[in-house]
């Protein structure tokens, strides 16, 4: 939502419908924000304080997921499996 407000991302007006359709079409599963995930944030040595990156990275660590990112600061994080999207 922040990227929408900043004009860095555009999506259809029916955001909920778009999310539902896209999630189904791509066969995506959501990674839950659990207490374990929230606590894992403090165990990751982030090079910056962006909370959005923290909440994207912690589930990858806890759930053993691959984080796909073009952010150079996240690509080099130890203990996180990352697929560089360059």
Contacts of 49 (CB under 8 A, 6+ apart): none
pLDDT of 13 > 90? The answer is: no
pLDDT per residue as tens digits for the range 37-63: 999 999 998 888 888 899 889 999 999
| Distance of alpha carbon 75 from alpha carbon 33, whole angstroms | 21
pTM for this predicted structure: 0.69
pLDDT for the residue numbered 38:
93
pLDDT of 14 > 90? The answer is: no
């Amino acid at each position: 939502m922040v990227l929408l407000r900043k004009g860095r991302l555009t999506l259809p007006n029916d955001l909920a419908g778009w999310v539902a359709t896209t999630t189904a079409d791509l066969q995506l599963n959501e990674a839950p924000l659990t207490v374990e995930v929230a606590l894992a944030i403090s165990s990751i040595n982030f090079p910056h304080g962006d909370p959005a990156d923290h909440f994207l990275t912690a589930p990858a660590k806890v759930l053993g997921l691959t984080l796909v990112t073009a952010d150079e600061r996240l690509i080099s994080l130890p203990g996180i499996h990352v697929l560089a999207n360059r």
